[in-house]
Amino acid sequence: MTFPVIDGGRLLARLDAFAAIGGTPAGGVNRPALSVEDRAARALLAGLGAARGFSVFQDAAANLFLRRAGADNDRPPFLIGSHLDSQPTGGRFDGALGTLAALEVLETLEDNGIVTAGPIELVAWTNEEGSRFSPGAFGSQVHATGAFPSGWQDTLDGNGIRLADELAATLAALPEAIERPLGRPVTGYIELHIEQGPLLERQGALIGVVEGIQGTRWLEVTIAGQVAHAGTTPLAARRDAMAVAAAIIARLQATVMPADADARLTVGRLTLAPGAVNVIPGEVTFSIDLRHPNGDQIDRLETEVAALATEIASSGGCRVSIRRSMDVAPARFDDRLIDIVQGAAEKRAFPSRRMFSGAFHDALFMARLGPAAMIFVPCRDGLSHNETEFVEPHQVIAGAQVLCDATLEAMRVFQSR
Ligand code: GLV
Ligand code: MN
Ligand code: MN
């Protein structure tokens, strides 16, 4: 079998074009899920695919698919892709790299007249980030389970806009896409992504052969105290929700990660009400992002968070409630597909290392549907979810080449049976 060489210049130009959609003055991207910018990126992708003769589909979760037909189109497709939504101060590679590299693979097959045994599809998953609407990896979760997460229609963004309304508007914005049912069988799935951490760069590796993804649980903690006058209320009478929240967060930061090098705990969002300089806050809500490669440890950490929050809140005269807004168990990828990715890197003589992913990805859910794997490339200083996120052009091209080679090999192994 011949393995064609991708067009690196075309891919780099595409990355530039998509980075301009929601581009920020600091060189990053602000393209929230289901926003006007997200719709513009989806429309551009659909147009580029249609121009090459690929069929365009979307499902009820607004997952967008570009399909290149194979010899036998009754076979389930092999999927490659990632996402186009970004963090509010996101980088230009997180998600876009894997999505546009997938387009480059489809175009390379087209340019070289390669006939695959079955169809290949690019997928751009909806709302991978989860920062506008929880949970993250929404589209792939809906695809893998064939249903929407419970209560999803009531999910609001920070401005009170409903997910269901934005989803409907996003679907309507691409009338040329053919509707398809949720959750179809697949032959396999490979996703290229930036590592979003420092390991590849530190070890001088060009390709990360990803063996799995650690678990993630998001908690929303609400502390209820009493609104009162800042100047007149003595210490003993204060039920200050902010003082309690600060104490809880400080204790968690001082204990959880120092005690377990594999644990990750982040408080990334905090709101307080009423939010006036001279009023004691009556309510504080903050997020906790908990991660660990071992699912039992996530359970243990959540129990620890709940016990600590209850103890500190009651000593501060407040009540606490905790709600889960995302819960994804760790996943291990398919050994055969992991070996195919490793083999593809070795054939191109790209230094590689095996690793686990600290970030969650849509591949987590795809691993429940069939063989799945991921390819990582380094990013400068390990920085991501940051406007300065950067991947060297040769790293972009190497990652896309491995995606192309591994996909063709995986289709040969899994699709021609
Ligand atoms: C994905 O964006 C994550 O937070 O891991
Ligand atoms: Mn991503
Ligand atoms: Mn991300």
Q: CA 32, CA 272: separation in Å to the nearest integer?
A: 23
The predicted structure's pLDDT at residue 398: 98
Instruction: Ligand 1, residue 196: give the atom nearest the CA.
Output: 5
Mean pLDDT of 238-256: 98
Q: Is residue 237 part of a domain?
A: yes
Residue 167 has pLDDT above 90, yes or no: yes
The predicted structure's pLDDT at residue 348: 98
Task: Tell the residue nearest (CA) to atom 5 of ligand 1.
Answer: 359
Contacts of 35 (CB under 8 A, 6+ apart): 22, 85, 132, 166
Task: Tell the residue nearest (CA) to atom 2 of ligand 1.
Answer: 129
Instruction: Ligand 1, residue 87: give the atom nearest the CA.
Output: 2
Centroid of ligand 2 to alpha carbon of 129 (angstroms): 7
- The dihedral of CA 37, 120, 168, 384: what is its sign? negative
Do 374 and 226 reside in the same domain of the chain? no
Please give the share of the chain, as a percent, with pLDDT higher than 90. 97
- CB of 129 closer than 6 angstroms to any ligand 1 atom: yes
The predicted structure's pLDDT at residue 183: 85
Instruction: Ligand 1, residue 291: give the atom nearest the CA.
Output: 5
The predicted structure's pLDDT at residue 417: 63
User: Pick from 213, 228, 305, 225: which is nearest to 267 by CA?
Assistant: 305
Centroid of ligand 1 to alpha carbon of 129 (angstroms): 6
User: Pick from 320, 71, 76, 356: which is nearest to 209 by CA?
Assistant: 356
Residue 369 has pLDDT above 90, yes or no: yes
Instruction: Give the domain range for residue 231.
Output: 215-326
Do 219 and 209 reside in the same domain of the chain? no
Centroid of ligand 3 to alpha carbon of 322 (angstroms): 24
pTM for this prediction = 0.94
User: Of the residues 86, 140, 216, which should be mutated to test ligand 1's pocket, given the most ligand atoms within 8 Å of the CB?
Assistant: 216
Q: Annotate 217-235 with b (16+ C-beta within 10 A) or e (fewer).
A: bbbbbbbbbbebeeeeeee
- CB of 362 closer than 6 angstroms to any ligand 1 atom: no
Q: Predicted confidence band at 135 (pLDDT cuts at 50, 70, 90)?
A: very high
Do 195 and 335 reside in the same domain of the chain? yes
The predicted structure's pLDDT at residue 154: 92
Tens digit of each residue's pLDDT (9 = 90 or more) over 168-177: 999 999 999 9
Mean pLDDT of 220-233: 98
Mean pLDDT of 359-386: 97
Tens digit of each residue's pLDDT (9 = 90 or more) over 124-133: 999 999 999 9
The predicted structure's pLDDT at residue 179: 97
8 A C-beta contact, residue 233 and residue 241: no
- Where a domain ends, among 286, 307, 326? 326
Do 46 and 96 reside in the same domain of the chain? yes
Residue 416 has pLDDT above 80, yes or no: no
Mean pLDDT across the chain, nearest whole number? 97
Q: CA 130, CA 158: separation in Å to the nearest integer?
A: 12
Residue 250: CB atoms within 10 A of its CB come to 11
Q: Predicted confidence band at 57 (pLDDT cuts at 50, 70, 90)?
A: very high
CATH number reported for the structural domain that contains residue 262 in this entry: 3.30.70.360
Q: CA 401, CA 4: separation in Å to the nearest integer?
A: 9
C-alpha separations of 68 from 51, 92, 105, 192, 366 in Å: 12, 26, 10, 19, 20
Centroid of ligand 2 to alpha carbon of 362 (angstroms): 8
The predicted structure's pLDDT at residue 20: 98
Q: CA 106, CA 114: separation in Å to the nearest integer?
A: 10
Q: How many structural domains is the chain composed of?
A: 2
User: Pick from 25, 110, 123, 15: which is nearest to 65 by CA?
Assistant: 123
Q: CA 38, CA 248: separation in Å to the nearest integer?
A: 36
Residue 329 has pLDDT above 80, yes or no: yes
Residues in the chain: 417
- CB of 218 closer than 6 angstroms to any ligand 1 atom: no
